[in-house]
Structure 1
Amino acid sequence: METKGDEKIKKYESIPSAKMLLASLRSVGYTDETAIADIIDNSIAANANKICIWFDWDRKQILIADDGDGMSSEELIKAMQIGSSDPNETRNINDLGRFGMGMKTASFSLGKRLLVISKNDGNYCNAVWDLNYIEHNDKWNILIKDETEIEEILNYKKEKIQFQSWDCGTIIIIRDLDRMIDFDNLEKSKGKFYQMISKVKKHISMIFHRFIEEDNLEIYVNGNLINAWNPFIIDNVATQELSMEIYEDEKNTVTIQPYVLPHKTKFEDENTFNRAGGIKGWLNHQGFYVYRNRRLLVYGTWFGKLKKEPAYNLARIKLDMLSESDFNWNIDIKKSKAVPPVVIEELVMQVALLTTQSSAKVYNSRGTYNKSANISNGNLKYIWEQRLNSLGQYMFYLNKKNPLLLNILQQLDDDKAQQLKTYLSLVENYSPAMMCGIVDMNNKSTQKIDDEIKYKDIIRIEEKIKILKKLSYEKEEIYDVINEMPEYSYLLSSDLKKIIDGGNRE
């Protein structure tokens, strides 16, 4: 019992049930190929030059071996703990993990037994998570196998994997593949098992293509070397590399490199064209490719901002971020989700719009285009667009992809560009259409606003406040200006004053 002031506080240690928690971790949402990729991350983080993966139908197991750094017994036990690293710690640029959960949750999503053998300085150690044991005993027990069993495992496929000849390294064996194999229908499961191997090979070739290309990383699946699949088709001379954009602040460093792929007529044959389309086809592979420490997280997405159109099939954009930005990008345990921070949304969409414009030109040109053409050519007359604001009311907004405006913004430094954007926001909110009552500017709506929408609006307001304060405007004038903007009319006056005063967001 502890005391705090005059209060007496009772504390009870609440240890979750091993059986129930580990059963829940099996349903995080991995696919077979994303689970394998998450395990490979650990091998790359351990400085592996060679990774050998073996899918063994006869033994109903998966084996992943690498020649990375290896671990001592103490290091292995720590690595096997659930949540073995602090997600708030600054990560090494080569570290592809974050939560200390990936190897375990990925393995559990495939099977019920995870055995890890590691070799360091010629010494072997091992550790096992056995979910059958845990279901029976409900204990947080990591098991250790005896040397006889380990020796038998090390001799398995040794002529193919050559683990014993490596100075150091780690083997992961996943058994009791109940999530992959229906043991009551083995014939049907066998076909699916081999189809899964094909999917994994294609997935690995894409997710880790930069490590294969840039670091000469060798990844083998059942003895076959995986070749990199580069989504930007850089070996084709007709691929256009557009202007790179870089965003940097105290929380984010993001590099955006857009590409426009060649027209179908610029590929040597139909097979080459189809392979360039990707494992899910041309339509599904257009969009952004988000890399974290060079590892591909998300691909073929417009972040819900653009509809996928055939004319955009040639637009692919490489977006590089570092692990220090994980929380700003809402990276999940599976490393299969990423959401751009609101501060770079506008830049991301500007690049997307320019790239899709250029894609449409090439797509519709049947390959007759000039690579040096100005990609920002567009419809100068398209000045205004009408769309819904946060309240679900229609407002008139300036067309931010107008080529003349884009050209001006590209010539300004960040501070001047932000001033111009703030002015344009005033133009939108105080346009004659708004002042004439098309939107009720005085209606402080009680409508429930989605928290994410409100958060993003507050970020935008803070940006405007920062600019206006820098230009020596007083708080009262800033409040009056923003308070009468139709776009933010749902915010209460008290909320707005807190934001202007630098108070906490709600």
Structure 2
Amino acid sequence: MQNQGMNRGMVDVTPDVRLLRVLRSSGVNLQTAMGEILDNSIDAGASEIDVYVFKNDREKSNIMIVDNGKGMNDVTLRGAFTLAKELKFGIDQIGKYGMGMKTAALSLSTQFEVITQKASGEVLFGEYNINKMEQQGEFKTTVRLADEVETTLFKSKLRRKQRSGTIVIIKNCDRLDVTHPVFVNQMQQFIGLAYKNFIKRGINFTVSDFPIKGDKVEAIDVLMREHDKTHIISERDTYPIEFETKLGQRKNTFIEVSSTVLPKPDKGSKGKKINEKGVLLPLNQTHQGIYVYREGRMVGQGLSWVNVFGEKHNEKNRFRIEINCNSELDDAINMNFLKGNVNPINPLKNQLAEIIEPYMEEMREVLRQEEEKEMSVQASKEKNADKKVTRKIEMVINKPVSSQVEKVENTSGKVILNKNVKKAKSKKELLTAAKEIRALLESKRTSEKTKKEFMEALGLTSSILETV
């Protein structure tokens, strides 16, 4: 018997607006969130990107990102507000999946605004507020022409000659869990690391904890190429890579590999100083390993991949490797929309293992040669120290004593003075000499070999010396 009243056919599976609350708990951290928005700015062709964090009139934190990219028209802005809507700017874009801006902004607040303009268009305003969408029960928001206040803000943040750009304002951040100065420091380091290739190409980033333009962010080179004590093992060596597309097609692309052995850190600094100067990424297990750059943007840092870099160990604290790849390998490196630490599939890992192992061996050889050189230097120092100890002991033993003038008769019976006769060392002088010898034998500056030789010459053992 057929069920009565059953509706057959297509079913509307549009998600409930509560999905936006779920996205707020997607595990996006501050750096990842900001990175998604900065990626959009770079994909839009921006050459100036400014980041601000400041208190608004409600004493809540606002984060504002301003770029001078190509901006958006009405259609593009609506698409930017649509979940999973991918906006293509080119094959080498660093944005992906169309989730970035929404997920990133919502991880910090329940609302954000966008003010944008294309070179030949008008200034537009868009609002994304999940509280309002929940009240409406629909995925609908506002996109309109910017009002006078919004337009004034837009013009004030971009140069007068600049006719296009975008401003993203994340308002009333309820999940910004760091102070504004800490935010600035974290952003400067993150941007310097993740976007160092873009900075070197001429893109300027600034970060400020006031609504005024901040200081320029400097690129951070994890391989420390410019340090004169860095051993450069390879520099952008190119290798062919085979991969499989989603359709099962076999294709080829290329990767670039750079590797270095970093300078030796200062003793006792726990890898935080080199030549008494602080380093941004301490030489430790956390920061050793592989750094992956996709389309020039860092998407993985300090990775090990057991059969590629191998298990992390203190002996590898100075080893760092850069791999540059393009977006063709996105599936092969298992990159998700958060662009977190990537983990290649096994076929790619196997290829990487063959490529990287010779570099790992070269890095290990650098350490071996350093160790041999240090041992040689230490042996030379010990040899010189032994010579000094030997001379000093001889000086103590052969210390001149007062001469005795002795009267003797020559063959003719005439009395003469003989000054060549030495009197025997007194007990006091011998005890003084013995104490000085013992002090030298107990000195850490005296080698074990020299100590053993003198102990044998004196007919003593080390245990006797310890009990004396």
Does TM, scored on the shorter chain, surpass 0.5? yes
Selected match of 2:26 from 16, 19, 28: 28
1:247 CA drift (Å): 2.6
Report the counterpart of residue 67 of structure 1 in structure 2: 68
Which deviations, in whole Å up to 9, do the C-alpha atoms of 1:160-208 show, x marking residues without a partner?
x435541211111101201115xxxxxxxxx634322211110110000
The 5 A counterparts of 1:192-211 are: 192-211=179-198
Q: Which moved more, 1:93-102 or 1:338-347?
A: 338-347
- Secondary structure in structure 1 of the residue aligned to 2:142: coil
Q: Does 1:247 align with 2:251?
A: no
Give the partner amino acid of 2:158: Q
How big is the alpha-carbon RMSD for the aligned residues of Structure 1 and Structure 2?
2.9
Report the counterpart of residue 321 of structure 1 in structure 2: 325
Report the counterpart of residue 344 of structure 1 in structure 2: 348
Tell me if structure 1 keeps the 8 A contact 2:260–2:320: yes
Report the counterpart of residue 13 of structure 2 in structure 1: 14
1:265 CA drift (Å): 6.9
The 5 A counterparts of 1:355-374 are: 355-363=359-367, 365-366=369-370
Query: What's the % identity of the aligned pairs?
Result: 23
Which deviations, in whole Å up to 9, do the C-alpha atoms of 1:87-142 show, x marking residues without a partner?
xx9x8343112201111111111111111111112521121111221232222112
Tell me if structure 1 keeps the 8 A contact 2:113–2:128: yes
CA distance in 2, matches of 1:148, 1:355: 59
Give the partner amino acid of 2:241: E
Higher helix proportion, which one? 1
Tell me if structure 1 keeps the 8 A contact 2:304–2:311: yes
CA distance in 2, matches of 1:248, 1:126: 44
Report the counterpart of residue 52 of structure 1 in structure 2: 50
Tell me if structure 2 keeps the 8 A contact 1:315–1:355: no
Tell me if structure 1 keeps the 8 A contact 2:272–2:282: no
Report the counterpart of residue 393 of structure 2 in structure 1: none
CA distance in 2, matches of 1:350, 1:366: 26
1:365 CA drift (Å): 4.9
Give TM-score scaled by structure 1 length.
0.62
Q: Does 1:264 align with 2:250?
A: no
- Secondary structure in structure 1 of the residue aligned to 2:362: helix
Which deviations, in whole Å up to 9, do the C-alpha atoms of 1:415-442 show, x marking residues without a partner?
xxxxxxxxxxxxxxxxxxxxxxxxxxxx
CA distance in 2, matches of 1:265, 1:132: 52
Q: Does 1:284 align with 2:286?
A: yes
**Structure 1 pair 164/23, CA: closer, same or farther in 2 (3 Å)?**
farther
- Secondary structure in structure 2 of the residue aligned to 1:171: strand
CA distance in 2, matches of 1:211, 1:274: 30
Tell me if structure 2 keeps the 8 A contact 1:83–1:100: yes
Selected match of 1:302 from 296, 301, 304: 304
**Structure 1 pair 292/241, CA: closer, same or farther in 2 (3 Å)?**
same
Report the counterpart of residue 418 of structure 1 in structure 2: none
CA distance in 2, matches of 1:148, 1:368: 72
Which deviations, in whole Å up to 9, do the C-alpha atoms of 1:57-90 show, x marking residues without a partner?
345201101111111112111122111128xx9x
CA distance in 1, matches of 2:129, 2:112: 6
Report the counterpart of residue 79 of structure 1 in structure 2: 80
**Structure 1 pair 276/206, CA: closer, same or farther in 2 (3 Å)?**
farther
- Secondary structure in structure 2 of the residue aligned to 1:346: helix
1:39 CA drift (Å): 0.7
Report the counterpart of residue 162 of structure 1 in structure 2: 158
CA distance in 2, matches of 1:165, 1:28: 40
CA distance in 2, matches of 1:23, 1:107: 12
Selected match of 2:205 from 195, 208, 219: 219
CA distance in 1, matches of 2:49, 2:317: 33
CA distance in 1, matches of 2:184, 2:277: 18
Larger Rg: 2
Report the counterpart of residue 135 of structure 2 in structure 1: 136
Listed as ranges, the gaps of 5+ residues in structure 2 are 1-6, 209-213, 243-249, 374-468
1:343 CA drift (Å): 2.0
Report the counterpart of residue 151 of structure 1 in structure 2: 151
Tell me if structure 1 keeps the 8 A contact 2:48–2:205: yes
Report the counterpart of residue 228 of structure 1 in structure 2: 219
CA distance in 2, matches of 1:322, 1:39: 20
CA distance in 2, matches of 1:68, 1:16: 33
Give the partner amino acid of 1:53: V
1:276 CA drift (Å): 8.0
1:364 CA drift (Å): 5.5
1:9 CA drift (Å): 5.4
Q: Which moved more, 1:140-149 or 1:282-291?
A: 140-149
Tell me if structure 2 keeps the 8 A contact 1:50–1:67: yes
Which deviations, in whole Å up to 9, do the C-alpha atoms of 1:260-312 show, x marking residues without a partner?
2343279xx98566878544653222111111111110011112442211221
Selected match of 1:102 from 93, 97, 100: 100
1:346 CA drift (Å): 2.4
Tell me if structure 1 keeps the 8 A contact 2:263–2:274: no
**Structure 1 pair 14/316, CA: closer, same or farther in 2 (3 Å)?**
same
Give the partner amino acid of 1:234: R
Report the counterpart of residue 333 of structure 1 in structure 2: 337
Report the counterpart of residue 312 of structure 1 in structure 2: 316
- Secondary structure in structure 2 of the residue aligned to 1:200: helix
Report the counterpart of residue 395 of structure 2 in structure 1: none
1:344 CA drift (Å): 2.7
